[in-house]
């Protein structure tokens, strides 16, 4: 089912644009300011209603579009009022602004490279003549301090397969890259330092190569004999105590809106909007083509566009509700990614347990969680993104990084400290990081919130017997004071407090962020990647909510020159006490590659937890039933040789 295609349901204000709405928006633009053939659509999507409009219920359906005029190289933003059938805003962006790369540009770029005589000559020097097996993998050029003269450029890394289905990442051509002007689709030049060794050993994961699969694994079946626990009404989901809306944007892919928990019948808000908004991958190996690799996978390539069509029993197991996503291609034609989002419920092991050994009474409750997920393929890598809603009010975000390592070549027999050797034919995978940024627009019991930092500290004392320690809470008063790195040994974390609602013990209700996978940028502060990915230099940032402040590396990170996004959002250093707040959390993987990550990587997991912290008056899951009575037992737990305890019977 599509989020929006069920016409029996009135469109909710945050439901993504329907195919019809996308068609209308594109037609109005083509009939108006984007009439010239040279216009390309980087994206067309819902212009989300403002918070004020959502509050008042006075919302209209609007589209926002980002376009590029290939004839001039200029980019434009447009707003279309769908009810009024009018283009209501058309803005030329500053020269040099480069919107995210379009899927069609990847294909066009690869075709231009493979057709280039210059490239064919360089390939022949490496003994490669079958162009049908050659893989050009375009990456954004980034920014390295040199003026790019308004050009829209990608730099392609070069690989080849040695036969169909062979893994091209086993055969990188090191320090041979190709620059392409995306607007003219011309090869601008090649960068070839003459290193001709290409690793030729085949390293494959495809069944064509690995032989028969094992046959000794018995199946698992997941069934819900009495039906589902969730309901779906358009893009609105209710699951047990949870209530939220699903959204999908070209940039972020899956978005959760208006996440709330029904507490004794009252729907209490927690997050106004939550999404994964950016990711940067800096590489450690010093060679030029490795250093020039850097990817802002959301801002440069659009997670939404790279979203997979999921398969039942493969990507998700159980009773699945899928949602499709409808986007437009570069010429404005709508297309649908079937099964883009997966929603299902799963068992989650133990939630809580106590065996009261004195009375021999064991109480156990099982945890279950609602999973809302999607998977993207960013050229070599896959990222599977999961939001988990738990019965006890916990929200967990998890990323499984899988897919294929971005590889590099050196001379056979050499080794390097900048990566992991993968074979003895000169193939290695450079060290790198994946630093993600989540955007959490908080609404803990309302829009008026404050943020505290917590550390566990010991009191100074000379007494070797008494050594008290406690959780020290510090109010973060302004935006600049709230740009903070993690400190796991201090057990540093942050909570977001409501302004006025209190719990049973008189404390203000709150939710906390547990930064379980903090990773910071390892490149030097004056490196261009660091300048462009400032979000990756702190674990949390907090900004006072402003409409339009939505991406931590800025609205247009592709070929950006640095310090966009968060540094701008907090520049005024506004008060963040009892305000409408957005928290930005950087986390991820410092990927010291293992040989076991090759030739396809078993998932590496990262993420974070958002937990109630005095939001409830007690454990909110006391009313959970035992599973068929099986988890409350007074059966003997072990045989004791001691006499029965006199007081406990
Ligand atoms: N894995 C980096 C990447 C993403 C998208 C396109 C090219 C490369
Ligand atoms: Cu990695």
pLDDT single digits (tens) 285-312? 999 999 999 999 999 999 999 999 999 9
Q: Residue 649 pLDDT > 60, yes or no?
A: no
Q: What is the pLDDT of residues 474-494, one digit of tens each?
A: 999 999 999 999 999 999 999
What pLDDT, on a 0 to 100 scale, did the predictor assign at position 646? 46
Check if 379 has its Cβ closer than 6 Å to any atom of ligand 1.
Answer: yes
**Under 8 Å CB-to-CB from 630, ≥6 apart: which residues?**
none
Among the ranges given (31-45, 598-612, 626-640), the one the predictor scored with the smallest mean pLDDT: 626-640
> Please, are residues 393 and 616 in contact by the beta-carbon 8 Å criterion?
yes
What pLDDT, on a 0 to 100 scale, did the predictor assign at position 642? 58
Q: Give the Å distance between the CA of 64 and the centre of ligand 1.
A: 25
Q: Give the Å distance between the CA of 550 and the centre of ligand 2.
A: 26
Arithmetic mean of pLDDT over the chain: 95
> Please, are residues 311 and 546 in contact by the beta-carbon 8 Å criterion?
no
Check if 397 has its Cβ closer than 6 Å to any atom of ligand 1.
Answer: no
Q: Which atom of ligand 1 is nearest to the CA of 281?
A: 2
Check if 110 has its Cβ closer than 6 Å to any atom of ligand 1.
Answer: no
What do you get for the CA distance between the two ends of the chain, in Å? 57
Specify the pTM. 0.96
Percentage of the residues of the chain whose pLDDT score is greater than 90 = 94
306: left (phi over 0), alpha (psi -120 to 50) or beta: alpha
Handedness of CA 635, 641, 645, 649 (dihedral sign): positive
Q: Give the Å distance between the CA of 433 and the centre of ligand 2.
A: 6
Residues with a known catalytic role: 297, 381
Q: What is the mean pLDDT of residues 60-69?
A: 98
Q: What is the pLDDT of residues 378-404, one digit of tens each?
A: 999 999 999 999 999 999 999 999 999
Q: What is the pLDDT of residues 216-266, one digit of tens each?
A: 999 999 999 999 999 999 999 999 999 999 999 999 999 999 999 999 999
Q: From 381, 403, 430, 529, give the residue whose CB has the most ligand 1 atoms within 8 Å, as the site to mutate.
A: 381
Give the Cα separation of 425 and 431 in Å (integer). 19
> Please, are residues 113 and 180 in contact by the beta-carbon 8 Å criterion?
yes
Q: Give the Å distance between the CA of 446 and the centre of ligand 1.
A: 39
DSSP state of 15: S
> In the structure encoding, which two tokens stand for residue 467, read together?
């050594």
More confident residue, 644 or 197: 197
What pLDDT, on a 0 to 100 scale, did the predictor assign at position 7? 44
Q: Which atom of ligand 1 is nearest to the CA of 139?
A: 7
Q: Residue 138 pLDDT > 90, yes or no?
A: yes
What pLDDT, on a 0 to 100 scale, did the predictor assign at position 648? 43
Q: Residue 411 pLDDT > 70, yes or no?
A: yes
Domains of the chain: 19-92 (3.10.450.40), 103-210 (3.10.450.40), 242-446+518-612 (2.70.98.20)
> In the structure encoding, which two tokens stand for residue 420, read together?
């992991």
Q: Which atom of ligand 1 is nearest to the CA of 380?
A: 1
Q: What is the mean pLDDT of residues 533-553?
A: 98
Paired with 591 in beta bridges are 432
> Which helix (H) or strand (E) segment is 532 a member of?
helix 528-532
Q: From 296, 301, 306, give the residue whose CB has the most ligand 1 atoms within 8 Å, as the site to mutate.
A: 301
Q: From 110, 295, 298, 403, give the residue whose CB has the most ligand 1 atoms within 8 Å, as the site to mutate.
A: 295
Number of Cβ within 10 Å of residue 33's Cβ equals: 16
What pLDDT, on a 0 to 100 scale, did the predictor assign at position 74? 98
> Please, are residues 201 and 423 in contact by the beta-carbon 8 Å criterion?
yes
Q: From 107, 307, 380, 557, give the residue whose CB has the most ligand 1 atoms within 8 Å, as the site to mutate.
A: 380
> Please, are residues 438 and 584 in contact by the beta-carbon 8 Å criterion?
yes
Q: Which atom of ligand 1 is nearest to the CA of 137?
A: 7
Check if 381 has its Cβ closer than 6 Å to any atom of ligand 1.
Answer: yes
Q: Give the Å distance between the CA of 538 and the centre of ligand 2.
A: 20
C-alpha torsion angle, residues 135, 141, 142, 144 (rounded to 10): 130
CA 237, distance to chain mean position in Å, is 21
Q: What is the mean pLDDT of residues 141-168?
A: 97
What pLDDT, on a 0 to 100 scale, did the predictor assign at position 11? 76
Check if 497 has its Cβ closer than 6 Å to any atom of ligand 1.
Answer: no
What pLDDT, on a 0 to 100 scale, did the predictor assign at position 8? 46
Percentage of the residues of the chain whose pLDDT score is greater than 70 = 95
What pLDDT, on a 0 to 100 scale, did the predictor assign at position 50? 96
Check if 380 has its Cβ closer than 6 Å to any atom of ligand 1.
Answer: yes
Q: Which atom of ligand 1 is nearest to the CA of 301?
A: 5
Q: Residue 585 pLDDT > 70, yes or no?
A: yes
Q: Give the Å distance between the CA of 158 and the centre of ligand 2.
A: 19
Q: Residue 168 pLDDT > 60, yes or no?
A: yes
Q: Residue 637 pLDDT > 60, yes or no?
A: no
Q: Residue 641 pLDDT > 90, yes or no?
A: no
What pLDDT, on a 0 to 100 scale, did the predictor assign at position 10? 59
Q: Give the Å distance between the CA of 581 and the centre of ligand 1.
A: 32
In the structure, ligand 2 is a single-atom ion and the residues with CB under 5 Å from it are 591
**Under 8 Å CB-to-CB from 94, ≥6 apart: which residues?**
none
Closest CA to ligand 1's atom 5: 378
What pLDDT, on a 0 to 100 scale, did the predictor assign at position 546? 98
Ligand of minimum distance to the alpha carbon of 297: 1
**Under 8 Å CB-to-CB from 342, ≥6 apart: which residues?**
310, 315, 316, 320, 321, 322, 371, 372, 373, 374
Check if 103 has its Cβ closer than 6 Å to any atom of ligand 1.
Answer: no
> Please, are residues 341 and 248 in contact by the beta-carbon 8 Å criterion?
yes
Q: Residue 2 pLDDT > 60, yes or no?
A: no
Number of Cβ within 10 Å of residue 85's Cβ equals: 12
């Amino acid at each position: 089912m599509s989020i929006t295609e069920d016409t029996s349901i009135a469109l909710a204000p945050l439901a993504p644009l329907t195919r019809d709405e996308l068609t209308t928006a594109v037609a109005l633009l083509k009939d108006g300011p984007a009439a010239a053939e040279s216009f390309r659509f980087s994206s067309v999507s819902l212009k989300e209603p403002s918070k004020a409009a959502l509050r008042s219920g006075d919302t209209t359906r609007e589209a926002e579009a980002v376009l590029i005029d290939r004839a001039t190289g200029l980019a434009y933003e447009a707003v279309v009022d769908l009810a009024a059938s009018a283009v209501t805003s058309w803005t030329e962006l500053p020269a040099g602004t480069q919107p995210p790369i379009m899927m069609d540009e990847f294909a066009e770029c690869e075709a231009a490279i493979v057709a280039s005589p210059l490239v064919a000559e360089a390939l022949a020097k490496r003994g490669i003549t079958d162009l049908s097996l050659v893989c050009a993998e375009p990456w954004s050029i980034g920014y390295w301090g040199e003026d790019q003269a308004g050009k829209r450029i990608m730099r392609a890394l070069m690989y080849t397969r040695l036969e169909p289905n062979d893994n091209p990442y086993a055969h990188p051509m090191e320090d041979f890259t190709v620059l392409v002007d995306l607007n003219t689709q011309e090869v601008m030049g090649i960068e070839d330092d003459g290193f001709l060794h290409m690793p030729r050993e085949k390293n494959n994961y495809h069944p064509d190569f690995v032989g028969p699969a094992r046959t000794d694994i018995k199946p698992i079946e997941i069934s819900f004999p009495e039906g589902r626990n969730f309901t779906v009404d358009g893009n609105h989901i209710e699951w047990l105590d949870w209530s939220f809306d699903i959204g999908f944007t070209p940039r972020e892919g899956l978005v959760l809106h208006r996440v709330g928990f029904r507490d004794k019948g009252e729907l209490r808000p927690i997050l106004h909007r939550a999404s994964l908004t950016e990711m940067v991958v800096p590489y450690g190996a010093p060679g030029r083509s490795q250093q020039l690799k850097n990817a802002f996978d959301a801002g440069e390539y659009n997670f939404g566009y790279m979203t997979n069509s999921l398969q039942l029993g493969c990507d998700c197991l159980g009773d699945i509700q899928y949602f499709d996503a409808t986007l437009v291609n570069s010429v404005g034609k709508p297309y649908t990614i079937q099964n883009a989002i997966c929603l299902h419920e799963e068992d989650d092991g133990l939630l809580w347990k106590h065996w009261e050994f004195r009375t021999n009474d064991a109480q156990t409750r099982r945890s279950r969680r609602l999973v809302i997920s999607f998977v993207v393929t960013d050229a070599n890598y896959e990222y599977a993104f999961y939001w988990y809603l738990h019965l006890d009010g916990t929200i967990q975000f998890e990323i499984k990084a899988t897919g294929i390592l971005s590889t590099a070549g050196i001379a056979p027999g050499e080794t390097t400290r900048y990566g992991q050797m993968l074979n003895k034919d000169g193939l290695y995978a450079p060290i790198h990081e994946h630093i993600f940024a989540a955007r959490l627009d908080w609404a803990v019991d309302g829009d008026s919130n404050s943020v505290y930092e917590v550390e566990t500290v010991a009191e100074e004392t000379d007494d070797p017997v008494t050594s008290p320690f406690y959780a020290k809470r510090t109010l973060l008063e302004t935006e600049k004071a709230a740009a903070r790195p993690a400190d796991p040994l201090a057990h540093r974390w942050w909570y977001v407090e409501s302004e006025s609602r209190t719990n049973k013990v008189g404390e203000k209700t709150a939710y906390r962020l547990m930064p379980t996978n903090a990773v910071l940028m390892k490149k030097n502060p004056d490196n261009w990647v660091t300048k462009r990915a400032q979000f990756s230099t702190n674990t949390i940032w907090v900004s006072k909510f402003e409409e339009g402040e939505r991406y931590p590396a800025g609205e247009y990170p592709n070929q950006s020159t640095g310090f966009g996004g968060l540094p701008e959002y907090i520049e005024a250093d506004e008060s963040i006490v009892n305000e409408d707040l957005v928290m930005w959390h950087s986390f991820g993987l410092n990927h010291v590659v293992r040989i076991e990550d090759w030739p396809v990587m078993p998932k590496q997991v990262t993420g974070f937890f958002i937990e109630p912290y005095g939001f409830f008056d007690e454990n909110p899951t006391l009313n959970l039933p035992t599973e068929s009575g099986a988890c409350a037992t007074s059966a003997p737990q072990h045989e004791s040789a001691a006499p029965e305890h006199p007081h406990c019977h």
